[in-house]
Structure 1
Amino acid sequence: MARKHISRRQALRLLGTTGITGLAGCTGGDSERADSGSGGSSSGTVSIGVLQPISGDLKYYGEQALWGFYSGLAYKGETDPIEKASTGTRSVTIGDTTYELHVRDTQFDTDTAQTLATNLVQNEDVDLLFGCASSGAATRVIKTVSKQTGIPTLIGPAASASITADSETCAANVFRASENTAMDARSGGTYVAQQTDVDSVYLFGADYSFGKAVVNNYRAVLEAEGIEILGEKFVPQGYSEWEGLLKNAEDAGAAGIVGGFTVSTLPQLFTAFLNGDYSYRVFGGFATRITNAAMGQTLQKELGSLTKNAVKKTKLGPFTTRYHWNQYDNEINNEFVNMYTKTYGVVPDLFTAGTFTAASAIVQAVEEAGSTDGSDIGAALGGMTVVDTPKGPDGYTFQGYNNQARSEMTVAAPVPTGDAWTDSWDAPVRPSDPVARIDADTVTIPKGADSMACTL
């Protein structure tokens, strides 16, 4: 008698949505809908649950994440990207395979993300999950949905290093193409140690996972390179009483400081730094256009007219960047920038290369597996070198020990935006052309490191 196939949706309804460790191997959709194979062509439908914030104050994070993902699918399918970053169902056909995207708005809220992810798996029977811009939301989804059901999940652009470094969140079915905070810090620390004359640093960071990951990884790299760490301080998001803290770094004799913050804190830090008389440089990471806008507005307020020389004299940067549109010159990136700018009216931003690569990897996995079954796609993603990426051919490789993709990072200086980019980069400053490139092996937390608790 033939064995009756039970879908993930049916299993979840029978067993509930928590404590379902026995479903670790149940990662595909209904058998009648998915072809399976071991390579070659595939046909059928891949259903992807997409979780991004597309409303509220940080909706731009979700928009650029979606726009990058849509552009990755468009590049693979030689078509135009989906235009709207809105909820609903969208479809892209590449060859004989249809990618059905069920887009949901997380509102940058952890509880909402969990509820939506649960519904997508339990009631809509998706084959894969993709998304989460919030690291808190990503962590919750992984723990309560991905690890419980075994559904292949691509996280991005959530950037906390712990997602692919801690044993509680790493898993054989959890992948991330997007760059993370450890990569920010390890590339920045390598640049400071090897390509500047800075010999002592004071570390500042936001008092939550993002800031702690930045500080911890900077400390590890800088100490290994013989740079003296004179002190470190964590402050709440939005902190504004910077004069005393910056003076502490000056009195300690720091040659540089690191700021591990987002747009909620950086303007206050920059304003205090520019209004003071400090001898050290400020290092950290380039963020998205909204943070560059805030930084540029602060510089305009303090300096008046922005010139390249005036910005350079501020001693802000250079900063690391995961990706910006002008950091890579190759055929894939050139086409990506053109299609993205034409469709969305702005140039690709910080998160877009990672989410482009996530989409590219899914299509590549389907083609390599010759299957639209979720478990086959997940198996093909393991250890994959992604062929088509904005950082060039073979620009990202999923590491076998934690499923985090390693990729090159760049270092750039803040410069005035200039007329060439005014219409497509709505911020007074932008990243310069690359000052340095830090290779993929250097920026990635290695297997066996104290901060790497993931073993697959």
Structure 2
Amino acid sequence: MARKLSRRGMLRATGVAGVAGLAGCTGALSGGSGMSIGVLQPVSGDLGYYGQQALWGFFSGLAYKGDTDPIEESTTGSYTVTAGDTEYELIVRDTQFSADTAQSAATDLVENEDVDMLFGTASSGAAGRVIDTVVDTAEVPFMAGPAASAGITSNEGTCSDLVFRASENTAMDARSGGKYVATETDISSVYLFGADYSFGRAVVNNYEQVLSNNGVEILGKRFVPQGYSEWDGLLQNAEDAGADGVVGGFTVSTLPQMFTSYLQGDYSYSVFGGLATQVTSQVVGQTLQQALGEPLTQEKLDNSGLGPFTTRYHWNQYDNEINSSFVDSYTSAYGVVPDLFTSGTFTAASAIVQAVEESGSTSGSDVAGALRGMTVTDTPKGENGYTFQEYNNQARSAMTVANLAPTSDEWSDSWDAAIQPGEPLATIGKGETTIPADAPGMNCSL
């Protein structure tokens, strides 16, 4: 757990310049009307879309609670949204997918902008750095997301009663998709691949645990650098080992190269894992078109050996009034359908508003108190679709498993990729998706 020390004292002790006033003290208390939130997301560079969809989901959650249209921007600056009797000031900073930049931006937001709370980032490494150097030292609440490493809310070093996450994580991917593969398919042995950094290692380690616990033999695992492209030999290793399935824990920088080699080779196993964002689906779709020919058909995809895949959220996986409203307003504002990260960040905003309303306060400490154990009423996964666990402040929510499908005419104008998630094969309830309090991998006790 994080240490409980004076914010001003800790900032001085760690060499950070002192603050004029403790962050959060300017937030209105009961009867007040304003809350400031420092927002940290990458909105430039190759992975700028990750930050954009995180922002758009967050903006949409605030808009839903305020019965208004979402902010249409995805750039740095200050924005205001009114929900209920409270005006929320959002101060957006670009982290550039860098832990150093995120740390500097978070420090500035706490010191010079006196924010009541922080929200971000898309990078797990950056989120961990912000927790370690700003949240723990300044004692300012932090809503992490869409950073997905399970360790943020399960490792002792980052777990804290001030750190919350509505966004889904890699353990939830594994506990839903891995269990489905173990119990609903013929796969009995698996080879695991992942990127050699926090996200990839979290994917591999969580799949290893879940698959092993459900009787699937782990034949080997290998971590490679981001952007790795020499896949023929590694995929052949999995074939030679007798694997029925392979997991790939990668983002867009690596996954297309792996898929290309797999589709061009002659392997007897299938590849499964998590469904990705539109930017990855674009490249994977192009890879599939080149390997399988156009047009892509459901038969071609079914015979490709790819799947099944877990999805944290996609627009067509949940049928309820809140999600329908979300899809409509998001598509109208941004020209694309809600993507992988957006339900978690929508829910983050929805939860903050709910916490303000329930506590009658915009003070960061009061909002944090209201968030603990909260079941969030308004979410894209349905009413009461997310609940913050009291032992680690991670929100549990349902997950779905789906195969790939050709992008339908209905969504072709708002989903710029040749493939989309198919109809859900299964929905895993929120009570089964997160790491239990007594599990070996849970080193958090608040």
Sort the TM-score into its range (normalised by shorter chain).
Answer: over 0.9
Deviation at 1:43, TM superposition (A): 3.5
For 1:176 and 1:14, locate their aligned partners in 2 and report how far apart those are by CA, in whole Å: 24
Aligned: 1:308 with 2:298: yes
Deviation at 1:27, TM superposition (A): 6.2
The superposition leaves residues 10-37 of structure 1 with CA deviations (integer Å, 9 ceiling, x where unpaired) of: 97499637379xx9xx66323xx5123x
Counterpart among 326, 334, 354 of residue 336 in structure 1: 326
Q: Could you tell me which residue of structure 2 aligns to residue 368 of structure 1?
A: 358
2:97–2:122 contact (8 Å) kept in structure 1? yes
Q: Could you tell me which residue of structure 2 aligns to residue 169 of structure 1?
A: 158
Q: Could you tell me which residue of structure 2 aligns to residue 192 of structure 1?
A: 181
Aligned: 1:317 with 2:307: yes
- Partner SS state of residue 420, structure 1: coil
Counterpart among 204, 212, 215 of residue 215 in structure 1: 204
Counterpart among 3, 12, 16 of residue 16 in structure 1: 12
Counterpart among 395, 410, 413 of residue 400 in structure 2: 410
The superposition leaves residues 241-294 of structure 1 with CA deviations (integer Å, 9 ceiling, x where unpaired) of: 111111111121111111111111111111111111111111110010011011
- Partner SS state of residue 60, structure 1: helix
Count of aligned pairs between the two proteins? 437
Deviation at 1:330, TM superposition (A): 0.1
Q: How does 1:220-369 map to 2 (within 5 A)?
A: 220-305=209-294, 306-369=296-359
1:34–1:372 contact (8 Å) kept in structure 2? yes
Cα distance change on mapping 1:11 and 1:406 into 2, 3 Å: closer
Q: Could you tell me which residue of structure 2 aligns to residue 35 of structure 1?
A: 29
Deviation at 1:96, TM superposition (A): 1.6
- Partner SS state of residue 38, structure 2: strand
Give the AA of the match of 2:219.
L
Cα distance change on mapping 1:15 and 1:229 into 2, 3 Å: closer
Give the AA of the match of 2:28.
A
For 1:443 and 1:13, locate their aligned partners in 2 and report how far apart those are by CA, in whole Å: 39
For 1:281 and 1:11, locate their aligned partners in 2 and report how far apart those are by CA, in whole Å: 51
Deviation at 1:369, TM superposition (A): 0.2
1:296–1:428 contact (8 Å) kept in structure 2? yes
For 1:396 and 1:308, locate their aligned partners in 2 and report how far apart those are by CA, in whole Å: 33
Q: Could you tell me which residue of structure 2 aligns to residue 44 of structure 1?
A: 33
Cα distance change on mapping 1:223 and 1:13 into 2, 3 Å: closer
- Partner SS state of residue 274, structure 2: coil
Q: Could you tell me which residue of structure 2 aligns to residue 3 of structure 1?
A: none
For 2:14 and 2:144, locate their aligned partners in 1 and report how far apart those are by CA, in whole Å: 20
Cα distance change on mapping 1:15 and 1:349 into 2, 3 Å: closer
- How large is the Cα RMSD of the aligned pairs? 1.8
Give the AA of the match of 1:348.
P
For 2:371 and 2:159, locate their aligned partners in 1 and report how far apart those are by CA, in whole Å: 15
Deviation at 1:407, TM superposition (A): 0.6
1:397–1:405 contact (8 Å) kept in structure 2? yes
For 1:367 and 1:441, locate their aligned partners in 2 and report how far apart those are by CA, in whole Å: 26
1:19–1:148 contact (8 Å) kept in structure 2? no
Give the AA of the match of 2:126.
A
Aligned: 1:451 with 2:437: no
Q: Could you tell me which residue of structure 1 aligns to residue 384 of structure 2?
A: 394
Deviation at 1:448, TM superposition (A): 2.0
Q: Could you tell me which residue of structure 2 aligns to residue 4 of structure 1?
A: none
2:11–2:138 contact (8 Å) kept in structure 1? no
Q: Could you tell me which residue of structure 2 aligns to residue 434 of structure 1?
A: 424
For 1:173 and 1:437, locate their aligned partners in 2 and report how far apart those are by CA, in whole Å: 30
Deviation at 1:360, TM superposition (A): 0.1
Deviation at 1:354, TM superposition (A): 0.3
- Partner SS state of residue 433, structure 1: strand
- Partner SS state of residue 432, structure 1: strand
For 1:15 and 1:98, locate their aligned partners in 2 and report how far apart those are by CA, in whole Å: 29
Identity %: 67
For 1:137 and 1:202, locate their aligned partners in 2 and report how far apart those are by CA, in whole Å: 29
2:374–2:388 contact (8 Å) kept in structure 1? yes
For 1:351 and 1:285, locate their aligned partners in 2 and report how far apart those are by CA, in whole Å: 12
For 2:50 and 2:442, locate their aligned partners in 1 and report how far apart those are by CA, in whole Å: 27
For 1:77 and 1:289, locate their aligned partners in 2 and report how far apart those are by CA, in whole Å: 28
Counterpart among 64, 74, 82 of residue 85 in structure 1: 74
1:17–1:118 contact (8 Å) kept in structure 2? no
1:27–1:375 contact (8 Å) kept in structure 2? no
Q: Could you tell me which residue of structure 1 aligns to residue 415 of structure 2?
A: 425
Unpaired stretches in structure 1, ≥5 consecutive residues: 1-9, 37-41
2:23–2:115 contact (8 Å) kept in structure 1? no
- Partner SS state of residue 327, structure 1: coil
The superposition leaves residues 216-257 of structure 1 with CA deviations (integer Å, 9 ceiling, x where unpaired) of: 111111111111111111111111111111111112111111
Q: Could you tell me which residue of structure 1 aligns to residue 48 of structure 2?
A: 59
For 1:43 and 1:70, locate their aligned partners in 2 and report how far apart those are by CA, in whole Å: 22
For 1:240 and 1:56, locate their aligned partners in 2 and report how far apart those are by CA, in whole Å: 21
- Partner SS state of residue 262, structure 1: coil
Give the AA of the match of 2:63.
A
For 2:315 and 2:340, locate their aligned partners in 1 and report how far apart those are by CA, in whole Å: 8
The superposition leaves residues 288-322 of structure 1 with CA deviations (integer Å, 9 ceiling, x where unpaired) of: 00110111000011111111101111010110000
For 1:94 and 1:268, locate their aligned partners in 2 and report how far apart those are by CA, in whole Å: 45
Unpaired stretches in structure 2, ≥5 consecutive residues: 1-5
For 2:144 and 2:288, locate their aligned partners in 1 and report how far apart those are by CA, in whole Å: 34
Deviation at 1:47, TM superposition (A): 0.6
The superposition leaves residues 372-422 of structure 1 with CA deviations (integer Å, 9 ceiling, x where unpaired) of: 111111100011010000000111111111101011110111111122111
